[in-house]
Chains A and B, each alone.
Chain A
Amino acid sequence: MSMGERPYKIVIGLEVHVQLLTESKLFCGCSTKFGAPPNTQTCPVCIGMPGVLPVMNRKAFELAVKTGLALNGEIARFSKWDRKNYYYPDLPKGYQISQYDLPICRGGYLDIPAEDGEGTRRIGIIRVHLEEDAGKSMHDEKAGRADSRIDLNRAGTPLLEIVTKPDLRSPTEAKTFLTELKLLLNYLEVSDCNMQEGSLRVDANINLHIPTDDGQYVATPIVEVKNMNSFRAVERALTYEAQRQYEAFLETGHKLGDVPKQTRGWDEDAQITRPQRSKEESSDYRYFPEPDLVPVTITEEELERIRATLGELPAEIRRRLQTTYQITAYDSDVIVNQGRAFVDYYCRLAQGCGDGKMAANWVQQDVLRTLNERQWTIAQFPVSADNLAELLRKVRGGELDTAKARMVFAEMVEQCCSAGEAIQRLGIVQVDEGELRRLCEELVAANPRVVAEVKAGKDKAIGSLVGQAKKRNPNINPARVKEICLELIQRQS
């Protein structure tokens, strides 16, 4: 159901946690690499042994500032750390070092493509702050036993918590937001936002505004939805939950404030949300300023220095590609989604061959397909932008038709050679214009029935002449043959 058709308005806010791409954890020197054997990337500090102390990772702080700037937020010139106290086995100190009332960034927004394809929607950000991640607990329920296993490799990993305003109006929009956020954070080299590896986690707060007869609306109780493991799961979970809330409202009439905030977990197998006993129920985290860490101040100079490292961001790049190279929004999307290196390749190619649209087609189809087939990155791609540009120029100039150009391209990929070399190796010889003309004259003369059909309006019939020309000489340019034959036929009548 699209937004316009529903009998209610959906209100969604997201709480996103992303792991930062730093070498080491937020408060100690342990590695943050994913996939190591359990409890091998730990030290007394992140295990929370008696007597240890945290020391702040500057790089993590810079990445947080970078993100805040890219999200157009207000960076706090003075921010501090706080302890969030609760007991759980994956939180070895019994508290998490986080930021409570003076987060590194407040406000800001991210523009996302509107669902209807027209323009963008501005999604507000409430705050961005840094905190350390907890470890992982796994429940090992073999026959008769019910052990819990704790892996502290993840404990202490720097997390950025990004909280949006409840500005999202549909599950699809929520998914789009996450996609756009991931793209931005990839470009900033802040996080790889990989949900499968846990470097991006998201919880959603959702409720409905249901219109009443008097033109007002009633708000349903807010539900927090957790345990969504992919962007698609987010979309499906929120779609399910919205409908469930509507049905629940029709049945119970509960409004916001009537019942306490519920937490529900998404069950991927059953495709439903279930109530969860929230592990910290009416949780009082007893926040207080972290006495082991000094507050962080940032000067205007440092802020500008960090701002200068942002680089061109996806939204700007999209706009630039569209205006400079005359390509569609869709094309620019595909290109930008592949990352900065791919964008650079495309631009060089477009400039080199002089036709942005043609370049866009080639990178989206031929280049991207090859990269995917061979599991290459653009950096590993053996055909340089300059070499591909040369090939495309030949196509534009009429020297090669598209079919032949694809053969040449394949040869260039295989042999890591230039377009000229590939053409030679394949034995493609350009047919001289005069020879081409003579061939066409012959074919036109030899095929009066085809000529009659074309004259009668069946342009497609020309294909048979082209086919015959190809058989006579595989090096002919089919498009050129078609042009010449049509011209000859026209002149006849």
Chain B
Amino acid sequence: MTSLDRFPFDRCASELLVALRVGHVTSEDLVQAALAQIEKYDPHVGAFLAVRGEKALDQAREIDRRRARGEKLGLLAGIPVAVKDNLCMEGEPTTCASRMLANFVPPYDATVVARLKAADAVIIGKTNLDEFAMGGSTETSAFQKTRNPWDLERIPGGSSGGAAACVAARMVPLSVGSDTGGSIRQPAALCGVTGLKPTYGRVSRYGLVAFASSLDQIGPLAQSVEDCALLLEVLAGHDPRDATSINRPVPPYRELVFQRPDAIKIGYVPEMLSDGVSPDVVRTMEETLNVFRSLGAEIREVALPHARYAVATYYIMACSEASSNLARYDGVHYGYRTDEKAMLAELAEERRRLQQEGNLAALDDLDTALVRLYRKTRAEGFGAEVKRRIMLGTYALSAGYYDAYYLKALKVRRLIRQDYDQAFERVDMILGPVTPAPAFRIGEKINDPLAMYLFDLFTVSANLAGIPALAFPAGLSTEGLPIGVQLQGPPLSEERLLQMGYLFQQVTDWHRRRPPLIENDRLLS
């Protein structure tokens, strides 16, 4: 083992791939480094729900052997990667940070996991998330909190909080998350890393435990744009097992990212820099616009008139689809089931009591054993936020309300998409904030769901419109917390976004800053 930087994962993946190829370092070295970093910092950060150290080392050694034999290896050969725990991995628990799936071990790999394996990536472990990806702070995880490596009292963002935090804390160079209403971009921004939500359908959803089917997308998180490009190329592509996946060739993102795009017009929406948005964010946006100007981009104002309906539209659609997607968690076929004996005893006791009281009406209405099984399993298996969203969704879809809510949301969604289509006739991409403020404190908004939901106001539109969006660090708040911005583009314009992001990272160094936890190697006592 040759000497490495103090934090091997300060280097981007493409550098590490070169180092591996020329033999400066082995995959086993990298995995050992990852495991050491995790052992040191994760007790404080809590990014990982599960670390498969032995298996990862075995895999790494095997890749080293194959490399020594001169065999052809995949694009990510030997690189440690972390995967959000709502992506199914054969033989490994996939819990979605929920009691409901605490004991669920999938018999199959998600397509993206299969692609990672085919690329010879070494999957180190599964990262923490908001339960069933429902949340913006990773606080709704049933198992543990994840803390922002920049300030352990603050949230890392969500729902891919673990995936963002482990990259920020230099535990792995690459991680894979999912984004339904901002769940890659928002934690990326709050943790000072780069994250991409691809065009809807660019990456197969097969094996991603569904939250909102028409909004979910899987995407890369890394410290740099070029690493995101590399990982995206591995993840993307048509999948016959996902009827919504796009059947178009995958461009060589990992090469295209370095190309300088022609005259780019970047739009921004002035309203997004008005009240409600923290001054730090406004300042970062203005500075970022200046950087792009200096890079030769033409900056224009654009309008997205229906953006103010985006949060409401998003929550109606996402919760409606979720209420249906989560119906399968009923304790019958897999996952958590309530204690049947206790349940039956409880029911028998109720029946006895009602019979004694002579309450025939209530007796008639009494749950059957099946219904009581469903009720208790779901009451015990799901956390509060998940229940809240299921109830909202069930309500929005129910007879008499469907037209006013779900159908209406479908229509507004189309209008939001049309806003973007029209804007993209005038500009190539739109720059905007990711969040209205930097990371808030743990516990600050958890009892105010509406406030939590409103924090999503800048990210949900991209999911509603199905367009790609790249989030990258662009500044620090006065308190030293990361602030991210995002570039949104037309469908299948990932190359352009990556190219502009790469250019930005050539002339700035926000993405290279390290959280104090790591920088000062200071542990919180």
A is bound by B: yes
Whether a CB of chain B sits under 8 angstroms from the CB of A341 is no
| A288–B406 CA distance with the chains assembled, in angstroms | 8
| A292–B244 CA distance with the chains assembled, in angstroms | 6
Which one, B110, B242, B323, B332, contacts A150 given CB within 8 A? B332
Residues of B within 8 A of A94 (CB): 324, 327-328, 330
Whether a CB of chain B sits under 8 angstroms from the CB of A44 is yes
Whether a CB of chain B sits under 8 angstroms from the CB of A50 is yes
Chain B 68-115 residues near chain A, CB threshold 8 A: 86-88, 94, 96, 101, 104, 106-108, 110
Q: Which stretch from A51-59, A239-247, A396-404 is at the chain B interface? A: A51-59
Q: Which stretch from A82-90, A250-258, A461-469 is at the chain B interface? A: A82-90
Contact mask A55-86 → B, CB, 8 Å, 1/0?
11000000000000000000000000001010
Residues of B within 8 A of A288 (CB): 320-321, 324, 397, 402, 406
Contact at A85–B327, with CB atoms within 8 Å? yes
Contact at A92–B244, with CB atoms within 8 Å? no
Query: Total contacts A to B, CB within 8 angstroms?
Result: 100
Contact mask B176-219 → A, CB, 8 Å, 1/0?
00000000000000000000000000000111111011100000
Whether a CB of chain B sits under 8 angstroms from the CB of A286 is yes
Contact at B334–A286, with CB atoms within 8 Å? no
Whether a CB of chain B sits under 8 angstroms from the CB of A345 is no
**Interface size of A in residues (CB-CB distance below 8 Å):** 29
Contact mask B8-46 → A, CB, 8 Å, 1/0?
000000000000000000000000000000000000000
Which one, A50, A89, A287, contacts B94 given CB within 8 A? A50
Whether a CB of chain A sits under 8 angstroms from the CB of B240 is yes
Which one, B106, B214, B332, B398, contacts A50 given CB within 8 A? B106
| A72–B418 CA distance with the chains assembled, in angstroms | 40
Contact at A93–B328, with CB atoms within 8 Å? yes
Whether a CB of chain A sits under 8 angstroms from the CB of B399 is yes
Which one, B88, B327, B332, B406, contacts A51 given CB within 8 A? B88
Whether a CB of chain A sits under 8 angstroms from the CB of B522 is no
Residues of B within 8 A of A53 (CB): 205-206, 241-244
Contact mask B231-244 → A, CB, 8 Å, 1/0?
00000000011111
Residues of B within 8 A of A292 (CB): 210, 213, 243-244
Known contacts A87-B330, A94-B330, A44 near B208 by CB under 8 Å = no
**Interface size of B in residues (CB-CB distance below 8 Å):** 43
| A50–B207 CA distance with the chains assembled, in angstroms | 7
Residues of A within 8 A of B397 (CB): 85, 286, 288
| A286–B322 CA distance with the chains assembled, in angstroms | 13
Whether a CB of chain A sits under 8 angstroms from the CB of B248 is no
Whether a CB of chain A sits under 8 angstroms from the CB of B374 is yes
Known contacts A286-B398, A286-B402, A55 near B240 by CB under 8 Å = yes
Q: Name B's interface SS.
A: loop
Contact at A51–B334, with CB atoms within 8 Å? no
| A85–B325 CA distance with the chains assembled, in angstroms | 10
Whether a CB of chain A sits under 8 angstroms from the CB of B333 is yes
| A51–B243 CA distance with the chains assembled, in angstroms | 13
Whether a CB of chain A sits under 8 angstroms from the CB of B144 is no
Whether a CB of chain A sits under 8 angstroms from the CB of B394 is yes
Residue on B nearest A95 in the bound complex, by CB: B324
Known contacts A94-B327, A95-B324, A95-B327, A50 near B242 by CB under 8 Å = no
Q: How far does the Cβ of A452 sit from chain B's closest Cβ, in whole Å?
A: 89
Whether a CB of chain A sits under 8 angstroms from the CB of B370 is yes
Contact at B210–A51, with CB atoms within 8 Å? yes
Residue on B nearest A277 in the bound complex, by CB: B368
Q: How far does the Cβ of A134 sit from chain B's closest Cβ, in whole Å?
A: 13
| A49–B104 CA distance with the chains assembled, in angstroms | 10
Chain B 315-374 residues near chain A, CB threshold 8 A: 320-321, 323-324, 327-328, 330, 332-334, 370, 374
Residue on B nearest A284 in the bound complex, by CB: B399
Q: How far does the Cβ of A235 sit from chain B's closest Cβ, in whole Å?
A: 34
Residues of B within 8 A of A434 (CB): none
Q: How far does the Cβ of B86 sit from chain A's closest Cβ, in whole Å?
A: 8
Contact at A83–B324, with CB atoms within 8 Å? yes
Contact at A286–B399, with CB atoms within 8 Å? yes
| A264–B242 CA distance with the chains assembled, in angstroms | 41
Residues of B within 8 A of A287 (CB): 402
| A148–B370 CA distance with the chains assembled, in angstroms | 10
| A286–B399 CA distance with the chains assembled, in angstroms | 6
Contact at A50–B330, with CB atoms within 8 Å? no
| A94–B327 CA distance with the chains assembled, in angstroms | 5
Other 8 A-B pairs with CB < 8 A, given A44-B108, A47-B333, A87-B330: A49-B108, A51-B86, A51-B110, A51-B207, A56-B243, A286-B394, A292-B213, A294-B243
A interface residues, Cβ below 8 angstroms from B = 44, 47-56, 83, 85, 87, 89, 92-95, 148, 150, 284, 286-288, 291-294
The 5 closest A-B pairs by CB, nearest first: A94-B327, A291-B213, A286-B397, A291-B214, A50-B209
The 25 listed contacts between A and B (C-beta, < 8 Å) are: A48-B328, A49-B107, A49-B333, A51-B110, A51-B207, A52-B207, A53-B206, A56-B243, A83-B324, A85-B324, A92-B328, A92-B332, A94-B328, A95-B327, A284-B398, A288-B320, A288-B397, A288-B402, A288-B406, A291-B214, A292-B210, A292-B243, A293-B243, A293-B244, A294-B243
